[in-house]
Chains A and B, each alone.
Chain A
Amino acid sequence: MLVSHYKQFVRDRAALFFTFLFPIIFVLMFGWAFGGSETRTFDVGIVNQDGSPASEAIVENLRAITVGEGEGAKRVFDIKEGDLESERNALKDGDLDAVIVIPEGLGSSLISETPVSIEIYYDVSQTATAQVLLPTLQQVLDGLERSLTQSAKLIDVRVLPIQSHELRAIDYLVPGILGMQIMFTGIYGCLTIIQQRQAHVLKRLGCTPLRRSTLVISELVFRMAVVLVTTALIIAVGRLVFDVQMVGSWPMLCGMAILGTLAFVSIGYLIAAFIRTQQGAEPIINIITFPMMFLSGTFFPVESFPDWLAPVVRALPLTYLSDALRQIMVDGAPLYSMTTDIAVLAGWMVVTLLITIRFFRWD
């Protein structure tokens, strides 16, 4: 059974292309579009309204952050100082990626331990910049603040090491594309069963002692194998071409990929339960997959969508799959930090399967 799946699949050139080549082309395309393997330097303007030793320390430390080691070390932030007006104009003109405003009285506030806010301006349209820059700045400032308030030695501030993979858009994209591909592989799987039902192949198999469970399981195992191969391919290309790191554990990544496959295959079967023909199913699949691809943070962070879309974004299974894959690949996050992701994916799977079992017809 498995062998027959394999042979038919391998001979279907279009399917081959979309499953294996397509995601790789995506990775390459976006990788190069977002600056490829070059580590970006961010132009940051600082408006220092305080002028205390503490604020100077912040500026110096931002300036000192580098990626890479030894000779290849490179500054992450290219810092210019100026007044609020001119820095903001430079941001608007695109000369700067962000502007940090250190308010007057920061130094004294830190000493007296009263809360003070540092403002960061950035260009919302530059999503790729924003998604990398903001968390980084946030992290740096948090770290600085912690060390500043805990220690009297203001100059001796520990610089948080920023790993290069946290800085690049491609690191964000690869897990997203992986998630997208799992979605496509899973949902498009329903076409096989719809075609076979339409061509009476399912009926013909019904005349043999073959169990239906065997049929379904072999289809599932096959899909999972395809997903695992795709996963390996995407990560390999990401690694070789763009030096994308895979920080987390492989078993966890594979497990998450398989859970995602199951969830999306279930959604595919749900489609097969209601749509009888291939011609009818294809537009439905597109209506489901394409908005999901864009709304689930495959290419842009979920935070960059307007608020009214948030409920939709939060309902989509791909949002959670991509998030989980990203956590594993980028942060090497532990399992418990993904409980929501796992629960939502499992929930989708169970609910769609229940509806499918109720309405699915074999002939």
Chain B
Amino acid sequence: MMDTIIEVIGLSKSYGDIKAVSDISFSVSRGEVFGMLGPNGAGKTTTVEIIEGLRTPDEGKVQVLGIDAGRDTRSIKEHIGVQLQSPALFPLMSVQEVIGFFGSLYRKSIPTTEIMKLVVLDEAKKVLVKNLSGGQQQRLSVALAFVNDPDIVFLDEPTTGLDPQARRTMWEMIESFRKKGKTIFLTTHYMEEAERLCDRVAIMDHGKIIALDSPQQMIKQNFRESAIQFKMKNAPGQSVLASLKGVTHLVVEEEDITIYSENIPATIGALLDIATHNGTDLSDLFVRQATLEDVFLKLTGKRIRD
């Protein structure tokens, strides 16, 4: 049985004239990894911070662990772990001390040595925070979200700004948390991260949730077709490309063109014909399975990272 651990109903929040979050509703079940995906400024962080009790919503209801957020935030905070986008650490304390300090703020906490092992920082335990590498600081910041052995962990873009190697380490960490049965609420603007880690993903854009499902379902629902991606100079008009055989949908971003087709051989054949016929420069062509990135592209008409 899945029991609901976070419940959000009709949540809205504005900053001045800008509607950061507008009337969103969703729920998160115990033990799942829930992802919130969207470009910068989509309202992910605002949503997370309202759930964490850092901000008060203009409208709507938020329940965390069955407690109204904004009523008894202290007892909620006792049972959640938070990693903010900015590391926000004490530069002049050592790894060990920072973890010990944060542990001391909670009624129950996991021993410091265990936490350090969890985030692979046990060799750097005496190093001052200011001397840690970016990836290490990020791992420490994530570690602090676990010191109180929380029921829910919020990770706000935990891999942003990390190199691929560090990102992979972080993913492995998050997967090991999932194995422990923690509920994880993750925001990210990396598609592959959401696809790999999340049980369910909410896609956010302009303060609204425009899709919510498991990554596989989301792809399956939106695409029976595969994607053909290529670069083309002086491409013919969209209508010409759209009328090619098998094409269901296409996105043109200057030279970069993605065509979704139910009949790959036919579409490619037709495409090559155009290229030879018009003498246009066709390059970097490849065919792939549709991904969350494509879903996002289809739903919003833009790429997530720019």
- Name which residue of chain A comes closest to B130, CB basis: A11
- The contact of B86 among A199, A206, A208, A209, by CB within 8 Å, is A199
Kindly provide the distance from the CB of B299 to the nearest chain A CB, expressed in whole angstroms: 31
B92 touches A207 (CB 8 A): no
| 20 chain-A/chain-B pairs, Cβ below 8 angstroms | A1-B101, A3-B101, A4-B97, A7-B92, A7-B93, A8-B90, A12-B92, A201-B89, A201-B90, A203-B84, A204-B82, A207-B54, A207-B80, A208-B102, A208-B105, A208-B106, A208-B148, A209-B75, A209-B106, A210-B105
A11 touches B128 (CB 8 A): yes
Size of interface on A: residues with Cβ below 8 Å to B: 20
A209 touches B78 (CB 8 A): yes
Please indicate the chain A residues that have their CB under 8 angstroms from the CB of B298 in the complex.
none
B84 touches A200 (CB 8 A): yes
- Name which residue of chain A comes closest to B128, CB basis: A11
Kindly provide the distance from the CB of A156 to the nearest chain B CB, expressed in whole angstroms: 69
Contact with B along A182-213 (1 / 0, CB 8 A): 00000000000000000111011111111100
Kindly provide the distance from the CB of A210 to the nearest chain B CB, expressed in whole angstroms: 5
B52 touches A207 (CB 8 A): yes
A8 touches B92 (CB 8 A): yes
**Does A142 make an interface contact (CB < 8 A)?**
no
A209 touches B89 (CB 8 A): no
Kindly provide the distance from the CB of A15 to the nearest chain B CB, expressed in whole angstroms: 10
**Does A363 make an interface contact (CB < 8 A)?**
yes
**Does B179 make an interface contact (CB < 8 A)?**
no
Please indicate the chain B residues that have their CB under 8 angstroms from the CB of A203 in the complex.
54, 84, 88
Kindly provide the distance from the CB of A60 to the nearest chain B CB, expressed in whole angstroms: 66
**Does B303 make an interface contact (CB < 8 A)?**
no
Given A8-B92, A11-B128, A201-B89, residue A209 in contact with residue B77 (CB < 8 A): yes
Please indicate the chain B residues that have their CB under 8 angstroms from the CB of A8 in the complex.
90, 92-93
**Does B74 make an interface contact (CB < 8 A)?**
yes
Given A4-B90, A7-B92, residue A207 in contact with residue B84 (CB < 8 A): yes
A207 touches B77 (CB 8 A): yes
Please indicate the chain B residues that have their CB under 8 angstroms from the CB of A209 in the complex.
74-75, 77-78, 105-107
B54 touches A363 (CB 8 A): yes
- Find residues 65-116 in chain B having any chain A CB closer than 8 Å to their own CB: 74-75, 77-78, 80, 82, 84, 86, 88-90, 92-93, 97, 101-102, 104-107
Give bound CA distance, A1 to B104, whole Å.
9
Kindly provide the distance from the CB of B88 to the nearest chain A CB, expressed in whole angstroms: 4
Given known contacts A4-B93, A209-B75, what 10 new A-B pairs fall within 8 Å (CB)? A4-B90, A7-B92, A7-B93, A7-B97, A199-B89, A201-B89, A204-B82, A205-B105, A208-B105, A209-B74
Please indicate the chain A residues that have their CB under 8 angstroms from the CB of B107 in the complex.
209
Give bound CA distance, A207 to B107, whole Å.
14
6 A-B pairs with least C-beta separation: A207-B82, A200-B88, A204-B88, A11-B92, A8-B92, A208-B105
Kindly provide the distance from the CB of B54 to the nearest chain A CB, expressed in whole angstroms: 6
Give bound CA distance, A211 to B74, whole Å.
9
From B53, B54, B106, B128, name the one whose CB has the most chain A CB atoms within 10 angstroms.
B54
Give bound CA distance, A124 to B80, whole Å.
69
Please indicate the chain A residues that have their CB under 8 angstroms from the CB of B89 in the complex.
199, 201, 204
Contact with A along B38-61 (1 / 0, CB 8 A): 000000000000001110000000
Please indicate the chain A residues that have their CB under 8 angstroms from the CB of B80 in the complex.
207
Please indicate the chain B residues that have their CB under 8 angstroms from the CB of A205 in the complex.
105
Give bound CA distance, A8 to B104, whole Å.
17
Please indicate the chain A residues that have their CB under 8 angstroms from the CB of B86 in the complex.
199-200
- Name which residue of chain A comes closest to B90, CB basis: A8
Kindly provide the distance from the CB of B130 to the nearest chain A CB, expressed in whole angstroms: 10
- Find residues 133-189 in chain B having any chain A CB closer than 8 Å to their own CB: 144, 148
Give bound CA distance, A210 to B53, whole Å.
13
- Name which residue of chain B comes closest to A206, CB basis: B54
Give bound CA distance, A82 to B161, whole Å.
86
Give bound CA distance, A209 to B128, whole Å.
25
Kindly provide the distance from the CB of A319 to the nearest chain B CB, expressed in whole angstroms: 35
Please indicate the chain A residues that have their CB under 8 angstroms from the CB of B104 in the complex.
1
Contact with A along B187-214 (1 / 0, CB 8 A): 0000000000000000000000000000
Kindly provide the distance from the CB of B298 to the nearest chain A CB, expressed in whole angstroms: 35
Please indicate the chain A residues that have their CB under 8 angstroms from the CB of B88 in the complex.
199-201, 203-204
From A7, A11, A12, A204, name the one whose CB has the most chain B CB atoms within 10 angstroms.
A204
Kindly provide the distance from the CB of A222 to the nearest chain B CB, expressed in whole angstroms: 14
Give bound CA distance, A11 to B131, whole Å.
13
From A204, A207, A210, name the one whose CB has the most chain B CB atoms within 10 angstroms.
A207
Give bound CA distance, A208 to B150, whole Å.
11
Give bound CA distance, A363 to B55, whole Å.
10
Kindly provide the distance from the CB of A226 to the nearest chain B CB, expressed in whole angstroms: 16
Please indicate the chain A residues that have their CB under 8 angstroms from the CB of B78 in the complex.
209
Please indicate the chain A residues that have their CB under 8 angstroms from the CB of B92 in the complex.
7-8, 11-12
Please indicate the chain A residues that have their CB under 8 angstroms from the CB of B148 in the complex.
208
Please indicate the chain A residues that have their CB under 8 angstroms from the CB of B101 in the complex.
1, 3-4
Give bound CA distance, A363 to B128, whole Å.
25
- Name which residue of chain A comes closest to B145, CB basis: A207
- Name which residue of chain B comes closest to A195, CB basis: B91
- Name which residue of chain B comes closest to A5, CB basis: B90
Kindly provide the distance from the CB of A6 to the nearest chain B CB, expressed in whole angstroms: 11
- Find residues 331-363 in chain A having any chain B CB closer than 8 Å to their own CB: 363
Give bound CA distance, A1 to B54, whole Å.
21
